[in-house]
Structure 1
Amino acid sequence: MHTLWKGALSFGLVHLPVKMHAATEDKDISMKQIHRACGSPISSLKFCKQCNNETGTEDLVKGYEHQKGQYILFEKDELEGLLPESIKEIKIMDFVNIDEIDPIYFQKTYYLSPDSSSDRGYTLLMEALKTTSKIGICKISIRAKSSLGAIRVVNNCLVLETLYYSDEIRPIQNVPNVQTDPVVDPRELVMAQSIVQQLSVTFEPTKYQDDYRNQLNDVINKKIQGDEIQYAVIQPKNNVLDLMSALQASLEALEQSDSKKPVKRRGRPKKIQTA
Protein backbone atom coordinates (compact mmCIF):
# COMPACT_ATOMS: atom_id res chain seq x y z
CA MET A 1 0.00 0.00 0.00
CA HIS A 2 1.41 3.38 -1.05
CA THR A 3 2.72 5.60 1.78
CA LEU A 4 1.33 9.14 1.65
CA TRP A 5 3.00 10.50 4.76
CA LYS A 6 5.65 9.34 7.21
CA GLY A 7 6.24 10.73 10.66
CA ALA A 8 5.33 10.17 14.30
CA LEU A 9 2.12 9.79 16.28
CA SER A 10 2.47 11.17 19.80
CA PHE A 11 0.45 11.21 23.00
CA GLY A 12 1.96 12.60 26.16
CA LEU A 13 5.71 12.04 25.84
CA VAL A 14 5.28 8.86 23.79
CA HIS A 15 6.31 9.06 20.10
CA LEU A 16 5.30 6.28 17.70
CA PRO A 17 6.83 6.15 14.20
CA VAL A 18 3.96 5.62 11.74
CA LYS A 19 3.15 5.70 8.04
CA MET A 20 -0.10 7.01 6.58
CA HIS A 21 -2.01 5.35 3.73
CA ALA A 22 -5.22 6.28 1.94
CA ALA A 23 -8.10 4.18 3.27
CA THR A 24 -10.45 4.98 0.39
CA GLU A 25 -10.16 5.35 -3.37
CA ASP A 26 -12.21 7.24 -5.92
CA LYS A 27 -13.61 4.84 -8.52
CA ASP A 28 -15.32 7.43 -10.69
CA ILE A 29 -14.72 6.76 -14.38
CA SER A 30 -12.31 9.39 -15.70
CA MET A 31 -13.10 11.08 -19.00
CA LYS A 32 -11.31 13.76 -21.03
CA GLN A 33 -12.75 16.61 -23.04
CA ILE A 34 -12.50 15.76 -26.73
CA HIS A 35 -12.71 18.08 -29.74
CA ARG A 36 -15.74 16.73 -31.58
CA ALA A 37 -14.42 17.79 -35.01
CA CYS A 38 -11.14 15.83 -34.94
CA GLY A 39 -11.46 13.53 -31.92
CA SER A 40 -8.36 14.90 -30.18
CA PRO A 41 -8.20 15.56 -26.41
CA ILE A 42 -8.12 19.18 -25.27
CA SER A 43 -5.13 20.11 -23.09
CA SER A 44 -5.34 22.37 -20.04
CA LEU A 45 -2.83 25.19 -20.41
CA LYS A 46 -1.67 27.63 -17.72
CA PHE A 47 -1.76 30.95 -19.52
CA CYS A 48 -0.80 34.43 -18.29
CA LYS A 49 -3.09 37.07 -19.77
CA GLN A 50 -0.72 39.88 -18.79
CA CYS A 51 2.37 38.36 -20.48
CA ASN A 52 0.29 36.73 -23.23
CA ASN A 53 2.15 33.42 -23.03
CA GLU A 54 2.08 30.00 -21.40
CA THR A 55 3.64 29.44 -17.99
CA GLY A 56 5.30 26.39 -16.48
CA THR A 57 4.83 25.05 -12.96
CA GLU A 58 8.23 26.41 -11.93
CA ASP A 59 7.02 29.95 -12.75
CA LEU A 60 4.05 29.82 -10.35
CA VAL A 61 3.67 30.90 -6.72
CA LYS A 62 0.69 31.12 -4.37
CA GLY A 63 -1.09 34.44 -4.06
CA TYR A 64 -3.72 35.88 -1.69
CA GLU A 65 -5.92 38.61 -3.20
CA HIS A 66 -6.18 41.20 -0.40
CA GLN A 67 -7.59 43.85 -2.75
CA LYS A 68 -9.08 43.62 -6.22
CA GLY A 69 -6.19 42.70 -8.51
CA GLN A 70 -3.56 42.98 -5.74
CA TYR A 71 -1.94 39.83 -4.35
CA ILE A 72 0.34 38.93 -1.46
CA LEU A 73 2.76 36.28 -2.79
CA PHE A 74 3.97 33.20 -0.93
CA GLU A 75 6.66 30.74 -1.88
CA LYS A 76 6.08 27.06 -1.05
CA ASP A 77 8.77 27.11 1.66
CA GLU A 78 7.13 30.10 3.35
CA LEU A 79 3.79 28.31 3.73
CA GLU A 80 5.37 25.08 4.95
CA GLY A 81 7.47 27.06 7.45
CA LEU A 82 4.34 28.26 9.22
CA LEU A 83 3.68 24.73 10.55
CA PRO A 84 7.12 23.35 11.45
CA GLU A 85 5.97 21.22 14.39
CA SER A 86 3.04 19.47 12.73
CA ILE A 87 4.66 18.62 9.40
CA LYS A 88 6.04 15.29 10.63
CA GLU A 89 4.00 14.72 13.77
CA ILE A 90 0.43 13.76 14.59
CA LYS A 91 0.03 15.12 18.11
CA ILE A 92 -2.91 13.82 20.15
CA MET A 93 -4.15 16.66 22.36
CA ASP A 94 -7.26 15.15 23.98
CA PHE A 95 -9.24 11.93 24.25
CA VAL A 96 -13.03 12.01 23.79
CA ASN A 97 -15.99 9.70 23.18
CA ILE A 98 -16.65 9.15 19.47
CA ASP A 99 -20.40 9.70 19.88
CA GLU A 100 -19.63 13.29 20.91
CA ILE A 101 -18.52 14.09 17.34
CA ASP A 102 -21.28 14.71 14.82
CA PRO A 103 -20.61 13.01 11.42
CA ILE A 104 -20.75 16.44 9.74
CA TYR A 105 -17.19 17.02 11.01
CA PHE A 106 -15.64 13.99 9.26
CA GLN A 107 -13.68 14.55 6.02
CA LYS A 108 -11.39 11.73 4.86
CA THR A 109 -10.08 8.47 6.30
CA TYR A 110 -6.45 7.29 6.40
CA TYR A 111 -4.88 4.10 7.73
CA LEU A 112 -1.89 4.43 10.05
CA SER A 113 0.62 1.59 10.04
CA PRO A 114 3.50 1.08 12.51
CA ASP A 115 6.97 1.75 11.15
CA SER A 116 7.94 -1.80 12.12
CA SER A 117 6.00 -5.03 12.57
CA SER A 118 6.95 -5.26 16.26
CA ASP A 119 6.05 -1.74 17.38
CA ARG A 120 4.89 -2.18 20.99
CA GLY A 121 3.84 1.46 21.32
CA TYR A 122 1.45 1.20 18.36
CA THR A 123 -0.21 -1.89 19.84
CA LEU A 124 -0.33 -0.30 23.29
CA LEU A 125 -2.14 2.84 22.05
CA MET A 126 -4.54 0.72 20.02
CA GLU A 127 -5.47 -1.42 23.03
CA ALA A 128 -5.78 1.65 25.27
CA LEU A 129 -8.26 3.23 22.86
CA LYS A 130 -10.27 0.01 22.56
CA THR A 131 -10.48 -0.69 26.29
CA THR A 132 -11.43 2.90 27.17
CA SER A 133 -13.77 3.38 24.17
CA LYS A 134 -12.05 6.68 23.42
CA ILE A 135 -10.64 8.37 20.32
CA GLY A 136 -7.76 10.83 20.19
CA ILE A 137 -8.20 14.38 18.91
CA CYS A 138 -5.05 15.49 17.09
CA LYS A 139 -3.57 17.95 14.61
CA ILE A 140 -1.67 17.09 11.44
CA SER A 141 -0.32 18.94 8.42
CA ILE A 142 -1.06 17.26 5.08
CA ARG A 143 0.06 18.90 1.84
CA ALA A 144 0.86 22.18 3.64
CA LYS A 145 -2.65 22.33 5.13
CA SER A 146 -3.33 22.13 8.84
CA SER A 147 -6.05 19.64 9.66
CA LEU A 148 -7.85 18.56 12.79
CA GLY A 149 -8.08 14.81 13.18
CA ALA A 150 -9.43 11.91 15.20
CA ILE A 151 -7.43 8.73 15.92
CA ARG A 152 -9.60 5.63 16.33
CA VAL A 153 -9.30 1.85 15.98
CA VAL A 154 -10.73 -0.22 13.11
CA ASN A 155 -10.01 -3.97 13.07
CA ASN A 156 -6.74 -3.71 15.02
CA CYS A 157 -5.54 -0.79 12.89
CA LEU A 158 -5.15 2.83 13.96
CA VAL A 159 -7.14 5.11 11.69
CA LEU A 160 -6.90 8.86 11.20
CA GLU A 161 -10.11 10.70 10.37
CA THR A 162 -9.48 14.29 9.25
CA LEU A 163 -12.07 16.67 10.66
CA TYR A 164 -13.41 20.09 9.75
CA TYR A 165 -12.66 22.88 12.22
CA SER A 166 -15.74 24.27 13.96
CA ASP A 167 -15.60 27.54 12.00
CA GLU A 168 -15.69 25.55 8.74
CA ILE A 169 -19.15 24.19 9.56
CA ARG A 170 -21.86 26.49 8.25
CA PRO A 171 -24.55 27.40 10.81
CA ILE A 172 -27.80 25.49 10.40
CA GLN A 173 -29.57 28.77 11.12
CA ASN A 174 -28.50 29.94 7.64
CA VAL A 175 -30.34 27.09 5.92
CA PRO A 176 -33.51 28.52 4.34
CA ASN A 177 -37.00 27.33 5.31
CA VAL A 178 -35.88 25.26 8.33
CA GLN A 179 -38.46 25.54 11.11
CA THR A 180 -37.30 26.31 14.65
CA ASP A 181 -40.37 24.71 16.27
CA PRO A 182 -41.65 22.07 13.83
CA VAL A 183 -45.21 20.75 14.25
CA VAL A 184 -46.02 17.18 13.15
CA ASP A 185 -49.40 15.54 12.66
CA PRO A 186 -49.47 12.58 15.14
CA ARG A 187 -51.18 10.28 12.59
CA GLU A 188 -48.61 11.06 9.91
CA LEU A 189 -45.80 10.53 12.43
CA VAL A 190 -47.08 7.04 13.31
CA MET A 191 -47.17 6.08 9.62
CA ALA A 192 -43.72 7.55 8.98
CA GLN A 193 -42.34 5.62 11.96
CA SER A 194 -43.90 2.45 10.59
CA ILE A 195 -42.15 2.98 7.22
CA VAL A 196 -38.83 3.57 9.01
CA GLN A 197 -39.25 0.40 11.04
CA GLN A 198 -40.12 -1.74 8.01
CA LEU A 199 -37.10 -0.43 6.08
CA SER A 200 -34.70 -0.83 9.02
CA VAL A 201 -31.93 -3.38 8.45
CA THR A 202 -28.40 -4.10 9.60
CA PHE A 203 -25.93 -1.97 7.63
CA GLU A 204 -24.07 -4.06 5.03
CA PRO A 205 -21.72 -1.85 2.94
CA THR A 206 -21.41 -4.41 0.11
CA LYS A 207 -25.17 -4.30 -0.40
CA TYR A 208 -24.94 -0.86 -2.00
CA GLN A 209 -23.38 -0.55 -5.45
CA ASP A 210 -22.66 2.37 -7.77
CA ASP A 211 -25.32 1.57 -10.38
CA TYR A 212 -24.36 4.50 -12.61
CA ARG A 213 -20.69 3.46 -12.74
CA ASN A 214 -21.63 -0.16 -13.48
CA GLN A 215 -23.96 0.88 -16.30
CA LEU A 216 -21.38 3.31 -17.70
CA ASN A 217 -18.73 0.56 -17.72
CA ASP A 218 -21.17 -1.71 -19.56
CA VAL A 219 -21.89 0.97 -22.17
CA ILE A 220 -18.16 1.68 -22.63
CA ASN A 221 -17.47 -2.00 -23.31
CA LYS A 222 -20.36 -2.18 -25.78
CA LYS A 223 -19.14 0.94 -27.61
CA ILE A 224 -15.64 -0.59 -27.86
CA GLN A 225 -17.18 -3.70 -29.44
CA GLY A 226 -19.34 -1.60 -31.74
CA ASP A 227 -22.62 -2.85 -30.27
CA GLU A 228 -25.81 -0.84 -30.52
CA ILE A 229 -26.78 0.87 -27.28
CA GLN A 230 -30.36 0.85 -26.05
CA TYR A 231 -31.07 3.69 -23.65
CA ALA A 232 -34.00 3.48 -21.28
CA VAL A 233 -36.60 6.22 -21.45
CA ILE A 234 -37.02 7.85 -18.05
CA GLN A 235 -40.68 8.05 -17.17
CA PRO A 236 -41.80 11.02 -15.06
CA LYS A 237 -42.92 10.05 -11.58
CA ASN A 238 -46.44 10.71 -10.43
CA ASN A 239 -46.40 13.53 -7.90
CA VAL A 240 -48.50 12.75 -4.85
CA LEU A 241 -49.37 16.12 -3.39
CA ASP A 242 -51.17 14.84 -0.30
CA LEU A 243 -48.68 13.74 2.38
CA MET A 244 -51.08 11.31 4.02
CA SER A 245 -51.78 9.64 0.65
CA ALA A 246 -48.05 9.34 0.01
CA LEU A 247 -47.49 7.70 3.40
CA GLN A 248 -50.38 5.29 2.87
CA ALA A 249 -49.15 4.38 -0.62
CA SER A 250 -45.66 3.76 0.76
CA LEU A 251 -46.98 1.39 3.43
CA GLU A 252 -49.07 -0.51 0.91
CA ALA A 253 -46.08 -0.87 -1.41
CA LEU A 254 -43.99 -2.23 1.47
CA GLU A 255 -46.71 -4.70 2.43
CA GLN A 256 -46.93 -5.96 -1.17
CA SER A 257 -43.15 -6.30 -1.28
CA ASP A 258 -43.14 -8.30 1.95
CA SER A 259 -45.86 -10.61 0.67
CA LYS A 260 -43.74 -11.49 -2.38
CA LYS A 261 -40.72 -12.48 -0.30
CA PRO A 262 -40.19 -16.26 -0.05
CA VAL A 263 -41.38 -17.76 3.20
CA LYS A 264 -38.92 -19.93 5.06
CA ARG A 265 -40.51 -23.36 5.29
CA ARG A 266 -39.97 -25.42 8.35
CA GLY A 267 -39.57 -29.18 8.32
CA ARG A 268 -42.71 -31.28 8.34
CA PRO A 269 -43.91 -32.10 11.84
CA LYS A 270 -43.23 -35.62 12.94
CA LYS A 271 -46.21 -37.99 13.11
CA ILE A 272 -47.15 -39.08 16.56
CA GLN A 273 -47.66 -42.79 16.73
CA THR A 274 -50.57 -43.88 18.88
CA ALA A 275 -50.97 -47.22 20.49
Structure 2
Amino acid sequence: MTPLRDLFKGVLGFGLVSIPVEVYKAVEDEHIPLHWIHRPCGTRIRYRKYCPTCDSLVPDTEVARAAETENGGLVVLEEPEPGARSGGEAPAIAILGFHGLEEIDPVLYRAAYWLKPGKGGLKAYRLLGEVMRASGRVAMAELERRGHRQLALVRPYPRSAALLLHTLYAPASLRREGEAFGGEPVALTRQELTVATSLVKAMSRPFRPEAYPNREREALLARIRAAAPAAGPPAAGGAAEELLAQLRASVREAREEARPARRRA
Protein backbone atom coordinates (compact mmCIF):
# COMPACT_ATOMS: atom_id res chain seq x y z
CA MET A 1 0.00 0.00 0.00
CA THR A 2 1.37 3.40 -0.96
CA PRO A 3 2.22 5.84 1.87
CA LEU A 4 -0.16 8.68 2.63
CA ARG A 5 0.61 11.86 0.71
CA ASP A 6 -1.36 15.05 1.07
CA LEU A 7 -3.36 16.01 -2.01
CA PHE A 8 -3.56 19.65 -1.03
CA LYS A 9 -3.54 22.01 1.93
CA GLY A 10 -6.55 24.16 2.67
CA VAL A 11 -8.63 25.94 5.29
CA LEU A 12 -11.69 24.52 7.06
CA GLY A 13 -14.03 27.37 7.94
CA PHE A 14 -16.08 26.94 11.13
CA GLY A 15 -17.95 30.21 11.61
CA LEU A 16 -15.25 32.84 12.15
CA VAL A 17 -12.72 30.12 13.01
CA SER A 18 -10.30 29.06 10.26
CA ILE A 19 -8.67 25.66 10.72
CA PRO A 20 -5.66 24.88 8.52
CA VAL A 21 -5.93 21.31 7.24
CA GLU A 22 -4.13 18.88 4.99
CA VAL A 23 -6.26 16.61 2.81
CA TYR A 24 -5.32 12.96 2.21
CA LYS A 25 -7.01 10.26 0.19
CA ALA A 26 -8.75 7.97 2.68
CA VAL A 27 -9.41 4.87 0.56
CA GLU A 28 -6.80 2.96 -1.41
CA ASP A 29 -7.80 2.35 -5.00
CA GLU A 30 -8.25 -1.44 -5.28
CA HIS A 31 -8.12 -1.31 -9.06
CA ILE A 32 -5.17 -3.19 -10.57
CA PRO A 33 -4.14 -1.34 -13.75
CA LEU A 34 -4.18 -3.51 -16.86
CA HIS A 35 -2.77 -2.43 -20.22
CA TRP A 36 -3.79 -3.14 -23.78
CA ILE A 37 -0.86 -4.56 -25.74
CA HIS A 38 -0.08 -5.73 -29.26
CA ARG A 39 -0.04 -9.48 -28.68
CA PRO A 40 2.59 -10.44 -31.34
CA CYS A 41 5.32 -8.17 -29.90
CA GLY A 42 4.04 -7.35 -26.40
CA THR A 43 4.22 -3.58 -26.94
CA ARG A 44 1.71 -1.30 -25.22
CA ILE A 45 -0.83 0.19 -27.60
CA ARG A 46 -0.74 3.98 -27.97
CA TYR A 47 -3.87 6.06 -28.37
CA ARG A 48 -3.55 9.28 -30.32
CA LYS A 49 -5.90 12.21 -30.76
CA TYR A 50 -7.15 12.12 -34.35
CA CYS A 51 -9.40 14.50 -36.30
CA PRO A 52 -11.36 12.70 -39.04
CA THR A 53 -12.26 16.00 -40.76
CA CYS A 54 -8.65 17.14 -41.14
CA ASP A 55 -7.37 13.57 -41.43
CA SER A 56 -4.50 14.36 -39.09
CA LEU A 57 -3.21 13.86 -35.55
CA VAL A 58 -4.17 16.70 -33.21
CA PRO A 59 -1.51 18.26 -30.93
CA ASP A 60 -2.50 19.08 -27.35
CA THR A 61 -2.29 22.81 -28.11
CA GLU A 62 -5.23 22.47 -30.53
CA VAL A 63 -7.46 20.44 -28.20
CA ALA A 64 -10.37 22.22 -26.49
CA ARG A 65 -13.36 21.15 -24.43
CA ALA A 66 -16.88 21.78 -25.68
CA ALA A 67 -20.37 21.33 -24.29
CA GLU A 68 -23.32 20.08 -26.32
CA THR A 69 -26.26 22.46 -26.56
CA GLU A 70 -29.95 21.55 -26.64
CA ASN A 71 -30.07 21.76 -30.44
CA GLY A 72 -27.10 19.41 -30.82
CA GLY A 73 -24.45 22.07 -31.45
CA LEU A 74 -21.17 22.49 -29.59
CA VAL A 75 -20.02 25.44 -27.53
CA VAL A 76 -16.28 25.69 -26.85
CA LEU A 77 -15.42 26.36 -23.21
CA GLU A 78 -12.25 28.39 -22.83
CA GLU A 79 -10.05 27.13 -20.02
CA PRO A 80 -8.98 29.77 -17.45
CA GLU A 81 -5.31 30.37 -16.88
CA PRO A 82 -3.82 28.18 -14.08
CA GLY A 83 -3.20 31.20 -11.87
CA ALA A 84 -6.66 32.65 -12.45
CA ARG A 85 -8.33 29.32 -11.76
CA SER A 86 -7.00 29.03 -8.22
CA GLY A 87 -7.11 32.73 -7.48
CA GLY A 88 -3.84 32.36 -5.56
CA GLU A 89 -5.77 31.29 -2.45
CA ALA A 90 -5.70 28.01 -0.51
CA PRO A 91 -8.64 25.67 -1.15
CA ALA A 92 -11.50 26.43 1.24
CA ILE A 93 -13.89 24.06 2.99
CA ALA A 94 -16.70 26.27 4.26
CA ILE A 95 -19.18 24.71 6.71
CA LEU A 96 -22.74 25.63 5.71
CA GLY A 97 -24.75 23.86 8.43
CA PHE A 98 -25.05 20.81 10.65
CA HIS A 99 -27.32 17.78 10.26
CA GLY A 100 -27.83 14.29 11.58
CA LEU A 101 -25.73 11.74 9.71
CA GLU A 102 -28.82 9.63 9.09
CA GLU A 103 -30.37 12.52 7.15
CA ILE A 104 -27.71 12.30 4.42
CA ASP A 105 -28.47 9.41 2.06
CA PRO A 106 -25.28 7.38 1.35
CA VAL A 107 -26.24 7.36 -2.35
CA LEU A 108 -24.85 10.92 -2.50
CA TYR A 109 -21.35 10.00 -1.32
CA ARG A 110 -18.55 10.34 -3.89
CA ALA A 111 -15.12 9.91 -2.28
CA ALA A 112 -13.55 10.02 1.20
CA TYR A 113 -10.54 11.99 2.44
CA TRP A 114 -8.75 12.31 5.76
CA LEU A 115 -8.44 15.79 7.20
CA LYS A 116 -5.23 16.37 9.17
CA PRO A 117 -4.86 19.51 11.30
CA GLY A 118 -2.26 21.89 9.93
CA LYS A 119 0.18 23.97 11.90
CA GLY A 120 -1.61 25.79 14.71
CA GLY A 121 -4.95 24.17 13.97
CA LEU A 122 -5.01 21.19 16.34
CA LYS A 123 -7.08 22.79 19.15
CA ALA A 124 -9.82 24.11 16.85
CA TYR A 125 -9.76 20.81 14.92
CA ARG A 126 -10.32 18.80 18.11
CA LEU A 127 -12.96 21.24 19.34
CA LEU A 128 -14.98 20.85 16.13
CA GLY A 129 -14.69 17.07 16.30
CA GLU A 130 -15.72 16.83 19.95
CA VAL A 131 -18.73 19.11 19.42
CA MET A 132 -19.94 17.04 16.47
CA ARG A 133 -19.51 13.80 18.44
CA ALA A 134 -21.36 15.14 21.46
CA SER A 135 -24.22 16.58 19.42
CA GLY A 136 -24.49 13.67 16.96
CA ARG A 137 -24.15 16.08 14.06
CA VAL A 138 -22.11 16.20 10.85
CA ALA A 139 -21.22 19.31 8.87
CA MET A 140 -22.48 20.04 5.38
CA ALA A 141 -19.82 22.08 3.61
CA GLU A 142 -18.75 23.52 0.29
CA LEU A 143 -15.30 22.69 -1.06
CA GLU A 144 -13.84 25.36 -3.33
CA ARG A 145 -10.65 24.41 -5.13
CA ARG A 146 -9.11 25.62 -8.38
CA GLY A 147 -12.16 27.69 -9.18
CA HIS A 148 -14.55 24.76 -8.81
CA ARG A 149 -17.13 24.29 -6.05
CA GLN A 150 -18.40 20.98 -4.78
CA LEU A 151 -20.75 19.91 -2.03
CA ALA A 152 -19.00 18.04 0.80
CA LEU A 153 -19.61 16.57 4.23
CA VAL A 154 -17.27 16.68 7.25
CA ARG A 155 -17.77 14.11 9.98
CA PRO A 156 -15.84 12.74 12.96
CA TYR A 157 -14.32 9.30 12.45
CA PRO A 158 -15.90 6.99 15.08
CA ARG A 159 -12.68 5.10 15.94
CA SER A 160 -10.31 8.01 16.57
CA ALA A 161 -10.08 11.80 16.87
CA ALA A 162 -9.72 12.22 13.10
CA LEU A 163 -12.12 14.08 10.83
CA LEU A 164 -13.21 12.82 7.42
CA LEU A 165 -14.24 14.81 4.36
CA HIS A 166 -16.67 13.24 1.89
CA THR A 167 -17.29 14.86 -1.47
CA LEU A 168 -20.96 14.57 -2.40
CA TYR A 169 -23.23 14.54 -5.40
CA ALA A 170 -25.75 17.39 -5.27
CA PRO A 171 -29.13 16.11 -3.99
CA ALA A 172 -30.72 17.23 -7.26
CA SER A 173 -28.48 14.73 -9.09
CA LEU A 174 -30.40 11.77 -7.63
CA ARG A 175 -32.58 10.12 -10.27
CA ARG A 176 -35.72 9.73 -8.22
CA GLU A 177 -37.49 7.56 -10.78
CA GLY A 178 -35.81 4.62 -9.04
CA GLU A 179 -37.68 5.32 -5.80
CA ALA A 180 -40.72 3.58 -7.28
CA PHE A 181 -38.89 0.29 -7.86
CA GLY A 182 -40.28 -2.57 -5.79
CA GLY A 183 -43.30 -0.58 -4.66
CA GLU A 184 -45.96 -2.69 -6.39
CA PRO A 185 -48.60 -4.20 -4.04
CA VAL A 186 -47.58 -7.59 -2.65
CA ALA A 187 -48.95 -9.78 0.16
CA LEU A 188 -46.42 -10.87 2.80
CA THR A 189 -47.61 -13.50 5.27
CA ARG A 190 -46.80 -13.40 8.97
CA GLN A 191 -44.92 -16.68 8.62
CA GLU A 192 -42.73 -15.32 5.82
CA LEU A 193 -41.89 -12.25 7.86
CA THR A 194 -41.10 -14.36 10.94
CA VAL A 195 -38.79 -16.74 9.08
CA ALA A 196 -37.06 -13.91 7.23
CA THR A 197 -36.54 -12.04 10.50
CA SER A 198 -35.06 -15.19 12.07
CA LEU A 199 -32.66 -15.52 9.15
CA VAL A 200 -31.52 -11.91 9.51
CA LYS A 201 -30.90 -12.45 13.24
CA ALA A 202 -28.99 -15.66 12.57
CA MET A 203 -26.72 -13.90 10.05
CA SER A 204 -26.20 -10.78 12.20
CA ARG A 205 -22.77 -10.34 13.78
CA PRO A 206 -20.36 -7.51 14.65
CA PHE A 207 -18.79 -5.94 11.58
CA ARG A 208 -15.18 -7.06 11.01
CA PRO A 209 -13.47 -5.52 7.95
CA GLU A 210 -11.22 -8.56 7.49
CA ALA A 211 -14.31 -10.74 6.99
CA TYR A 212 -14.98 -9.02 3.65
CA PRO A 213 -11.81 -9.28 1.53
CA ASN A 214 -11.68 -8.15 -2.07
CA ARG A 215 -11.93 -11.60 -3.67
CA GLU A 216 -11.93 -10.21 -7.20
CA ARG A 217 -8.59 -8.48 -6.57
CA GLU A 218 -7.12 -11.58 -4.92
CA ALA A 219 -8.15 -13.75 -7.88
CA LEU A 220 -6.64 -11.28 -10.37
CA LEU A 221 -3.38 -11.11 -8.41
CA ALA A 222 -3.23 -14.92 -8.40
CA ARG A 223 -3.65 -14.95 -12.20
CA ILE A 224 -0.87 -12.36 -12.56
CA ARG A 225 1.51 -14.35 -10.36
CA ALA A 226 0.73 -17.55 -12.24
CA ALA A 227 1.37 -15.89 -15.60
CA ALA A 228 4.59 -14.14 -14.53
CA PRO A 229 7.90 -15.90 -15.31
CA ALA A 230 9.37 -17.73 -12.35
CA ALA A 231 12.16 -15.84 -10.63
CA GLY A 232 15.35 -17.58 -9.62
CA PRO A 233 16.08 -18.22 -5.92
CA PRO A 234 17.40 -15.07 -4.19
CA ALA A 235 21.01 -15.17 -3.09
CA ALA A 236 21.54 -15.22 0.67
CA GLY A 237 23.04 -12.18 2.32
CA GLY A 238 21.27 -9.46 0.37
CA ALA A 239 22.35 -7.40 -2.62
CA ALA A 240 26.05 -7.22 -1.65
CA GLU A 241 26.35 -11.00 -1.28
CA GLU A 242 24.47 -11.52 -4.53
CA LEU A 243 26.84 -9.19 -6.39
CA LEU A 244 29.87 -10.93 -4.87
CA ALA A 245 28.51 -14.35 -5.89
CA GLN A 246 27.94 -13.13 -9.44
CA LEU A 247 31.51 -11.77 -9.63
CA ARG A 248 32.98 -15.04 -8.35
CA ALA A 249 30.93 -17.04 -10.86
CA SER A 250 32.14 -14.75 -13.64
CA VAL A 251 35.77 -15.37 -12.60
CA ARG A 252 35.22 -19.13 -12.68
CA GLU A 253 33.67 -18.95 -16.14
CA ALA A 254 36.55 -16.81 -17.41
CA ARG A 255 39.10 -19.31 -16.08
CA GLU A 256 37.26 -22.24 -17.65
CA GLU A 257 37.24 -20.46 -21.01
CA ALA A 258 40.96 -19.70 -20.72
CA ARG A 259 42.06 -23.30 -20.07
CA PRO A 260 41.51 -24.71 -23.59
CA ALA A 261 43.29 -21.72 -25.03
CA ARG A 262 46.39 -22.46 -22.91
CA ARG A 263 46.30 -26.15 -23.92
CA ARG A 264 46.20 -25.22 -27.63
CA ALA A 265 49.12 -22.85 -27.11
TM range (shorter): 0.7 to 0.9
* Greater fraction of residues in helix: 2
Residue 161 (str. 1) matches residue 166 (str. 2):
yes
Aligned-residue sequence identity (percent) comes to 28
TM norm structure 2: 0.75
Rg larger for = 2
Partner of 2:176: 171
Residue 15 (str. 1) matches residue 21 (str. 2):
no
Deviations 1:63-90 (A, max 9, x none): 1111566321122218997996997211
The CA deviation at 1:39 is: 2.4
The CA deviation at 1:189 is: 1.7
TM norm structure 1: 0.73
Distance 2:88 2:136 in 1: 28
Q: Cα gap change, 1:11/1:117 in structure 2, threshold over 3 Å: closer, same or farther?
A: closer
Partner of 2:95: 92
Partner of 2:34: 31
What is the number of equivalent residue pairs in this alignment?
Answer: 226
1:221 paired residue among 202, 225, 241: 225
Distance 1:45 1:185 in 2: 61
Partner of 2:153: 150
Kept after mapping to 1: 8 A contact 2:13/2:94? yes
The CA deviation at 1:21 is: 0.9
Deviations 1:88-140 (A, max 9, x none): 21110101111111211211111111112663222221222122221110011
* Structure 2 residues not aligned, in runs of 5+: 231-265
Distance 2:177 2:70 in 1: 30
Kept after mapping to 2: 8 A contact 1:109/1:161? yes
Residue 138 (str. 1) matches residue 141 (str. 2):
yes
2:200 paired residue among 196, 202, 216: 196
Distance 1:224 1:113 in 2: 40
* Structure 1 residues not aligned, in runs of 5+: 227-275
Runs of 4+ in 1 over 3 A off after TM superposition: 78-87, 141-145, 172-175
Distance 1:69 1:87 in 2: 38
The one-letter code matched in structure 1 to 2:23 is M
Distance 1:166 1:195 in 2: 34
Distance 2:187 2:81 in 1: 54
Kept after mapping to 2: 8 A contact 1:86/1:139? no
The one-letter code matched in structure 2 to 1:44 is Y
The one-letter code matched in structure 2 to 1:163 is L
Q: Compute the RMSD of aligned alpha carbons.
A: 2.9
Distance 1:80 1:62 in 2: 19
The one-letter code matched in structure 2 to 1:208 is Y
Partner of 2:187: 183
